[in-house]
Structure 1
Amino acid sequence: MEIELKLLLAPEDVPLLQAHPLLAQNGGQAPQLPQILAMHDIYVDTPDLQLCRHQAGLRMRQVDGRWVQTLKAGGQVSGGLHSRHEWEGELAGPTPDLDALDAAIGRKQPVRALLRQAEIRESLQEVFSTRMQRTVWQLHTPQGDHIECVLDQGVIESGERKVSVSEVELELKEGQASSLFDVALLLLREVPLQLGHMSKAERGYRLALPEQPLKASKAQPVVLNAAMTVEEVFLAIVANCLAQVGANQDGVIQGEDVESLHQMRVGLRRLRSALGMFKSLLALPVELQGELDWLSGALGEARDWDVLAGHTLAQLDGDADAGFGPGALAQLTQAARGQAHEKHALAAQAVASSRYTALMLGLQRWLHGRGWRSSRTPRQLQRLDAGVQGFAQRTLRADQRRLMKRGKRLLHATPQQRHRVRIAAKKTRYATEFFASLLNNGKVLPYVGRLSLLQDELGAMNDVRVADRLLQELPDGQADLQVHAAFIRGYLAARAQGGDNERRMDKAWRRFTSARLPL
């Protein structure tokens, strides 16, 4: 299993990396000159990209006159940490030797059966290639970890299309994976870096298929089993949340992708909910919690303006009972979109910053080092090492009790009280989804569906509260804009108090209260 951390840097920052004291000092051992290699890689696949579709990549690499084939398959990416199965072997030239790979791959690996198919063997062709100058440092930490630090500079080419590459890979040769994050955080002190969530192969395929746009990434199911401990489940859930955050990083940095920003924010909310769920057994360091709050705030402001411009105001378009002219709504929508544009730019700046990179690296360092264990009591450690089933059942029951208590007088509750019910519903839904693979399959979807419906109805009412606040924050200087904003604020408030909204909310609440926990 190959374990590496990928980091991106601007070409103009390469001298900062090369001069970094960590690379010169070599962890306190005798300094060494880096190794410099010229590499040419050829990636092959079928015309319909069967290897790519099965999350595999096959390349032939020429280094100093030698050819080596490498097959990578499976694994995962979380927080920039790439873990993949890898098989290598020498070649006489740039033609793959599939028989040699077949002998090396374990029988249980799905990619083995794939490469045995005659139609795949006979149709492999070059899809893209790379040409890199690779600079390699061998690092040894005081704790005995061996890390290979690689700087790759070059280009990926597919036909007439090409894209430049400037990235650092930290590959664990021996030791603990947490040491990769220690080294990355030290490099980050001197060099602006971003986490890299796409391998060269993924970037090459994207170059070969330019018609495929970057897509927002929704939460993937958390796969658990009853034999796992509470601590193992915590690690799996948080890794899943961070994977969703990281997968939407590039979309947010591009600046205007509304859905990528929304899904990154959802990933953060799921993460914060998971941390709260386990807070009796472990606690996130205060400094990391503060940075999570900073990032959530940066994304939340942009999301609020997106909802106002693209949903709340859009729903009023064509409302014959509104009583305001079409120009008023158009003017307000344009102003809200302007604010959303500014907030997206700030969010993109935040996610592209070294501060964001330090936060993600810090979270991963905390997770891989299990930094909470040294400060836990024997009783807490015992509970962390216990089986997960009891913890899951207690958590879901407690969440449901909290939600039922907060929603007891929902129909006559204040907006603030309804907001607290909405937050409780959201936490209950996330917890149920986290533990779904441990629960009664036939009951999970109906239960989550009723929670989602309740959350939607309460969310619609909360959108009105947010809209009221944002409309008051529109820039001064346009008297007619302020008049339109005041009128629509009043209209939204009056409509929110209407009977239809409360009837839908009450119906959603009654449907939920009749649902049974999927235990």
Structure 2
Amino acid sequence: MIVNAYSRAKSINACMPPYAFYNGCINQGKNAMEIELKLLLAQDDAPLFAEHPLLAACSSAPPQLQALHDIYVDTPDLHLARHRAGLRVRQVGSDWLQTLKAGGDTSGGLHRRHEWEGPVAGPVPEIDALLVLVKRREPVRALLRQNEVSGALQTIFTTRIARAVWQLTTPEGDAIECVLDQGVIEANGASTPVCEVELELKAGRSASLFDVALALQQQVPLRLGQINKAERGYRLAFPALAGAPRPEKAAALTLDEAMSLEQAFVQIAGNCLQQISANADGVVDHAEEESLHQMRVGVRRLRSALGMFAPLLALPDELQRELSWLSDALGAARDWDVLAGATLEQIKGEVEADMLAPLVTAAQERARQAHADTGAALAGARYTALMLGLQRWLHARAWRSACTRRQLRRLDKAAPGFARRTLGKSQRRLLRRGKGLDQAAPEQRHRVRIAAKKARYATTFFGSLLRPRRVRAYERDLGRLQDVLGGLNDLEVADGLLQTLAGGEPALAPQAGYVRGYLAARAQAGAARIDKAWRRINGARLPY
């Protein structure tokens, strides 16, 4: 039964994150890279998870039950946390173990951190013992040796966890430790509950983490966990840190000229997934407008990257459909945000308040509802399955099974040549679509805007392989064209949304009609600015 479920999960997304190449065997020791997938579940679903048939089928023994007491320490000014490090002392029975974690990254619930651990005599860290484990060239070593750390550590928060541990072996032979944690984080008299699952790779392929998660998720509602217990503990101890998550723009992307084209794609796609997943909590838990916008940008970047590489590899149809679903869900909310917070806001003082105010109120209500709908969608099983599937596809490099020999040979070639050809193709498509742009209809302007956006994404993706000064100049020219065309597109979208408001609330029809006419006049004036932006693109030098 479990083999079938596991196989179904694999077949859904028939490979490796951008940040590391870990398809080989992972051996965890006292000094290791911890690779784990964190998943959240409701407390009421914990018994259902513990009875999941996969756990019994893939483990040779009942779960090991542990009572854990963790003490997390830092300096009064949070010196460790500010340097992206965490230090705890854990009691298991009568034994104590200290663990230092530092560096790494998080994307789509997958957490990678350097980890050093060893026994200690009691509930107090032993810095000298840690220094024995940390290699001399590791940056965290210098951090530990600073007097403000070793002489000033104090308890920041504690956790008390009831843990169940299953040692899983997949049908392919991968070793995964599956942990169900239930308990509480405590700090300064306050507490917050914990109910989460961790799948930690002990040996084998990182893609197997997603296979197991997909199989588990078929029966138990799970949600990707973007922050760990340490981060939650710091936020509990210092409420000022517990505000809405900051919107995350795309991280800087650096490709190496020696990379193969396939390795470059893995880096690019993983960078997009990281931007998507980093903004999910801001959308789900806080209805953050900018988080939603950045998440939508991440989706657009990913779809653009998939289009660029389409001649060489293909995302499975099911994942393509689900990615389109996510794009549509984010797009609907974003359109109402722009109408309420930008388009109508810009004409305050130019349009009579009694005409504008009812439309702003109605648009804001539509935006709130759209955010609620989008947040509910991202908190559900469909989004979780999509992100697990995309990560699994990337980790396993699952496209290779469908590639021809010629495609595989091209994927093995160096990336710079492909980068130059892609930018040249993007520029030619943009110039072709932009002929007669100053007199173009909105449909043509929209196609030009999309072409400009794709050219800019391509330039950003491959910028580290190109000439930096030319890259900046070309991106600046593309950005100016995008701004002009984007503003006109916002007015077109606003026209349709105002019609929707009037159709749903007939009392708003007079105001909507008046403002639509006003925005149409602004669009005509805005079209006059296209020519200057287009001339710069027409004469632009490609950045190579």
Q: Does residue 288 of structure 1 match 2:315?
A: no
Residues 221 and 433, structure 1, Cα contact 8 Å, conserved in 2: no
Q: How many residues align?
A: 510
Kindly indicate whether residue 474 of structure 2 is the aligned counterpart of residue 447 of structure 1: yes
Which residue matches 1:411? Answer: 438
The question of whether the paired residues in 1 share the 8 Å contact of 2:256 and 2:465 is answered with yes
More deviation in 478-487 or 91-100? 478-487
TM-score, normalised via structure 1 length: 0.96
| Mapped partners of 1:466, 1:439: distance in 2 | 36
Residue 342 of structure 2 is matched in structure 1 by: 311
Look up the match of 2:403.
376
- Given the superposition, is the C-alpha separation of residues 344 and 475 from structure 1 closer, same or farther in structure 2, using an over 3 Å criterion? farther
Shift of 1:243: 0.8
- SS of structure 1 residue aligned to 2:281: helix
Change beyond 3 A, Cα 1:465–1:477: closer
- The letter of the residue matching 1:469 is G
Alignment of 1:90-105 (within 5 A): 90-105=119-134
SS at match of 2:161: strand
Q: How far off its partner does 1:478 sit?
A: 4.1
Aligned to 2:157: 128
In the alignment, is the contact (CA less than 8 A) between 1:221 and 1:434 conserved in 2?
Answer: no
Given the alignment of the two structures, is residue 195 of structure 1 paired with residue 227 of structure 2, yes or no?
no
Match of residue 390 from structure 2? 363
Contact kept in structure 1, 2:459 and 2:475, CA below 8 Å? yes
Structure 2 residue 540 is the aligned partner of structure 1 residue 515: yes
Provide the C-alpha distance between the structure 2 equivalents of 1:470 and 1:165, rounded to a whole number of angstroms.
42
RCO higher in structure (CA 8 A, sep ≥6): 2
Q: Report if the CA contact (8 A) 1:194-1:354 is conserved.
A: yes
Contact 1:255 1:344 in 2 (8 A): no
Given that 1:265 and 1:299 are in contact with CA atoms closer than 8 Å, whether structure 2 keeps it comes out as yes
Q: Alpha carbons of 1:34 and 1:477: their partners in 2 closer, same or farther (altered >3 Å)?
A: closer
Q: Is 1:33 the equivalent of 2:62?
A: yes
Q: Which amino acid aligns with 2:539?
A: S
**Structure 1 residue aligned with 2:270:** 239
In structure 2, the partner of 1:162 is: 191
CA distance, structure 2, for counterparts of residue 518 and residue 204 of structure 1:
46
1:248: Cα distance to partner?
A: 0.8
What is the aligned partner in structure 2 of residue 300 from structure 1? 331
The separation in 2 between residues aligned to 1:112 and 1:226, in whole angstroms, is 31
| Correspondence for 2:110 among 71, 74, 81 | 81
Of 12, 16, 19 in structure 1, the residue corresponding to residue 44 of structure 2 is 12
Query: For structure 1, which segment, 415-424 or 501-510, has the greater mean C-alpha deviation from structure 2 after superposition?
Result: 501-510
Partner SS for 1:215: coil
Query: 1:43, 1:128 within 8 Å by CA — same for their partners in 2?
Result: yes
- The more displaced of 93-102 and 295-304 is 93-102
2:255–2:264 CA contact under 8 A, matched in 1: yes
Mapped to 2, the partners of 1:341 and 1:295 lie a distance apart of 18
Q: What's the offset of the Cα at 1:161?
A: 2.4
Q: Counterpart of 2:417 in structure 1: which amino acid?
A: G
Q: Which amino acid aligns with 1:243?
A: Q
**Deviation for aligned residue 1:25:** 1.8
- The one-letter amino acid paired with 1:192 is P
SS in 2 for 1:435: helix
What secondary structure, in the 3-state scheme, does the structure 2 residue paired with 1:518 have? Answer: coil
Task: Check whether the contact 1:255–1:345 (CA below 8 A) recurs between aligned residues.
Answer: no
CA deviation digits over 1:163-207, x for unaligned, max 9?
A: 111000001111111111111011001100000011111111222
Structure 1 position 504, deviation (Å): 2.2
Are residue 62 (structure 1) and residue 91 (structure 2) matched?
yes
| Cα deviation, residue 417, structure 1 | 0.5
User: In structure 1, what residue type is equivalent to 2:479?
Assistant: S
5+ residue gaps, structure 1, are: none
Secondary structure class of the residue paired with 2:252: coil
Matched residue SS, 2:398: coil
CA distance, structure 1, for counterparts of residue 184 and residue 256 of structure 2: 43
Amino acid at match of 2:320: Q
Could you tell me the percent identity over the aligned residues? 61
Give the match for residue 249 of structure 1: 280
Cα-Cα RMSD: 1.3
Q: What SS does the corresponding residue of 1:44 show, helix, strand or coil? A: strand
One-letter code of the match for 1:433? T
- Residue 481 of structure 1 corresponds to 508
How is 1:391-406 mapped onto 2 (pairs within 5 angstroms)? Answer: 391-406=418-433
> Who is 1:224 aligned against?
255
| 1:23 maps to 2:55 | yes
Which one of the candidate residues 144, 153, 177 is aligned to 2:182? Answer: 153
Runs of at least 5 residues in structure 2 that lack an aligned partner in the other structure: 1-32
